[in-house]
Structure formats: structure tokens, C-alpha cells
Amino acid sequence: MFLIPGLTILFIIGLKDDLVVLSPFSKLAAQVISVTFILNNEAFMVNSLHGFFGIYDLPILVSYLIGGFIMVTIINAYNLIDGIDGLAAIVGIVILIIYSTIFYMTQDYFYLLLSLTLNGCLIAFLKYNLSSSSEEKIFMGDTGSLIVGFIISVLTMRFLALPSEKLEDLPFIVENIPLIAIGILIVPLFDTARVFTIRLANRKSPFSADRNHTHHILIDYFNISHKKASLIIGAFNLVFVYLIIVLGSTSFNFWLVAVIVLTVIVLAYFFYRYNYSFSNLKRKIKLKRKFNDVKKRGKNILKNDKPKE
């Protein structure tokens, strides 16, 4: 009953955005309202970090803030990666396979069923999304991406809020759970953080549209198809999750954090170097500032040269 209101709101907002473009703040308001329904259920409250960097119990207010931030971030991150054929579906399938396995091991069968059901939907959708026939081809749109992102955020919150008696069934150290969650969602989180940074550095709205996404770089610079780019990113997500889970079963916070940070730095450098728009970003900003300075000086000269009455 906590899922139905949130899904209904996001379905209506997503459908309207596909028909008549809505402002980012309208969609954000709808997401906050939808998330509120979930956070009112104790099953999704993150009350403890289980010793993650020495943090255990969390105050109620902090739990609400963390939960709201996590869910809204995941919803928007998943919505943003829906930029080429197959990518959102493939990444979603990889994420849901991991969550299906986790909830099977913890015997959370409702969330296992939810993961498998959505996975089946995405697999069926993928066939038509990647179809070369214009008569068969369909797109996810905001209606689909908001709903799928919302359900993935719900599954993530449930994973983070698992009671201690169920955590013993998982194959990794309990205190590594927050890092495991980051590893599972590495593709949408990295891509969102990257494009937001670029837009803010370029003095644009973080919600403005451009072609600075990871998948756009693979398509534009390396000249590969949508299908190949989606498969490459999906394969990376799967391999990275496997690596994080293996390390999470033997290593503590420091080494996992080191691996995640190193991976993000390497990816950021790679896509900084090969992104034609971002590689010239500093030069553009400096050139714009010089132009503004010259323009300002010109105005001052003209102002001073005006004949006095």
C-alpha cells in the first residue's frame, strides 16, 4: 500500500512530461511526495549504518534526510541515463538481478518477486526498444524511467534497512552494505555526478539538456551503435558489482572506498580526455571571462570619452 500512491503519482507526472514537457522542479516535487509515502514505512527506514566508518545508530531526522536524498538521487540518476536505446533497460536488468539474488538470500520474497517482475518487464521491453523495425520500436520515456527508478530506489532502501538478523545471510561484511549499494548503482550515479559537475562548471542549470553523458561520448567520439554502447556500459556495471561484492566479503571500508574512488577517478579522467565538449571547458570559460573583461573595459573607455555638457 505504500508503493501504490508513489507509483501512481510518478506515472501521471511521467506521462504528462512525455506529452507536455514539465519543468524539472515540477517533477522534483512529485518525486518528493512519492518518496514521503515510502519513508513513512518502518521497513524502509535506515536506522543504523552497521559500523560503516564507525557509525551505528542514526537519529530519526537524519534517517529521513538520508532516505529522501538517496531515493530522489536514484530516481533522477536512472531517469538521466535513459538517453539511448537499450541503456536504461540493460542497466536496470543488471541492478535487478543483483537485488533479486540479495532478497532471495535474505528470504524477503515480496521484494524478490518485485525485482523479478520488473526484470521480466524490462527484458520484454528491451526486445522492442532495440528493434530495427520502426513499426515495433518503442521507448521508455519519463513514464517508464521514473517508475523503474522509483522501484529501484525502494529496493535500495529496503536493502540498506535490512534487519540485523537477515544480514548474516549475505556474503559480505555487514559494515560494507552502503558501499555495496553504491557499487550496484555505479553507472547511473557516476553519470549523474559527472554531467551535473560539467553543467555547473559551465554555469548552466544541472537539469539542462546536453550530450555530455557517458553514453553520448561512446556514440559520438568512438562512433559505435546504441546497442554496443549499452552493452559495454551494462557489462561494466556487472563486472564492477561482482568485484565490489568479492572485495566486500573480505575487505573493510578503507579498501572498498579506495577501489570505488580510484575507479571514479580513472573513469572521470578517461571521459574528461575524450569528451570534446568537456575537454575544452576550461578554455571556453577563460575565453568568456577575457571577452567579458574586454567588453567591460570598452564600455568604460566609451563612457570616459563622452563629451561633458
Non-local CB neighbours of 107 within 8 Å, separated by 6+ positions: 166, 169
Number of domains observed in the structure of the chain: 1
Taking the CA atoms of residue 286, residue 287, residue 288 and residue 293 in that order, the dihedral angle to the nearest 10 degrees is 90
Give strand pairing partners of 304: none
Segment 273-307, tens digit of pLDDT: 655 454 444 555 555 566 677 777 766 666 665 55
Specify if 299 maps to a domain. no
The cell numbers describing 187, all together, are 553507472
| Residue 303 resides in a domain | no
Asked whether the beta carbons of 9 and 32 are under 8 A apart, the reply is no
Binding-site annotation: residue ranges for Mg(2+):
79, 142
pLDDT digits (tens, 9 = 90+) for 153-192: 999 999 998 887 787 778 877 888 888 888 899 888 888 8
Annotated binding site: 79, 142
Domain membership flag for residue 305: no
Q: How confident is the model at residue 272 (pLDDT cuts 50, 70, 90)?
A: low
Tell me which of 257 and 7 has the higher pLDDT. Answer: 7
Query: Is 103 within the bounds of a domain?
Result: yes
Determine, yes or no, domain membership for 95.
yes
Q: Against a cut of 0.85, is the pTM above it?
A: no
Give the structural domain span for 227: 2-292
More confident residue, 286 or 116: 116
Residue 183 lies in a domain: yes
Domain contains 307 = no
Give a yes or no: residue 282 inside a domain: yes
* pLDDT for position 33: 95
